[in-house]
Amino acid sequence: MTLVMGIVNVTPDSFSDGGRYLDAEAAVAHGLALRVQGADILDVGGESTRPGSERVAPAVEQERVVPVVRALAQAGAYVSIDTMNASTAVAAVDAGARLVNDVSGGLADPELLAAVAATGADVVLGHWRGPSADMYARAAYADVVTDVLAELAERVEAAAAAGIAPSRVILDPGIGFGKKGEQNWATLRGTARLVGMGPRVLVGTSRKRFLAETLAGDPDAQADVGERRRDLATAVTSVLAAQAGAWAVRVHDVAATRDALAVARAWEGESRWASPTRSR
């Protein structure tokens, strides 16, 4: 059964809910609410990766996330830390995180993979071609699915060289990162090929721009598509990712995604969703 990862943004500038949970108490309360709604994993992040965002200092990031990670872990939640910084990854694991979610796949901080290897935590390696500030300038592919798979295979090799066994690795195709419009849809259609590489697969489409562009029918009008419609589109793509074999989906609206997955399981039957790569 595909797991649901709930997003806990402890940031002032995330594209969807920036500033809403910047206060640690509010972030913890939000995380606990997502857990009640059915989140299997809580992904805590202190640095926005929205298009055009700038990096923040690791010390600032840790000030935001470590208290939240510690409180959620102490409450019994399975916590992931969403970070591109080695020092933040280590601090968060020390505070109770069990998974390091690096959208850069270890490219933003050359020390991250070795640091994670030493902690024993699992790691998500995202497909990434550069910082959010100018990532769309790198959205050129011969064949987007083939290129994404090849570049992720390189990250798996880098993780292994750093001492992280493939069984600890989760791959993320990086929907929205260095990909425009149809490139995201093509990448999603290639989910089964990514699953075929062997490691578990995490897919995150939640509220992203390409969904709004599709719903609006016009890239210039995508800002007019509200959260409710984006969440519906997220639930649909999350179900499709699950059907393709994704180990987990990363979402803002946990309840809607849980409902969508339950309906899809009822339609197709539980056996259709069984996967040898679902354990965590």
Q: Which residues carry out catalysis?
A: 208, 250
What's the CA gap between 221 and 36, in Å, rounded? 35
Of 72, 79, 81, 120, nearest in space to 100 by CA: 81
Separation in Å, CA 79 to CA 26, 169, 191, 231:
16, 16, 25, 22
φ/ψ region of 130 (left if φ > 0, alpha if ψ in -120 to 50, else beta) reads left
What's the CA gap between 163 and 263, in Å, rounded? 40
Query: What token pair was written down for 150?
Result: 């090849």
The DSSP string of 93-134 is HHHT--EEEETTTT-S-TTHHHHHHHHT-EEEEE---S-GGG
Of 17, 39, 19, nearest in space to 256 by CA: 39
Q: Which residues contact residue 47 at a Cβ distance below 8 angstroms, ignoring those fewer than 6 apart?
A: 11, 53, 55, 56, 61, 82, 83, 84, 85
User: Is 92 in contact with 119 (CB distance < 8 Å)?
Assistant: no
Separation in Å, CA 46 to CA 1, 13, 59, 146, 247:
29, 10, 10, 32, 24
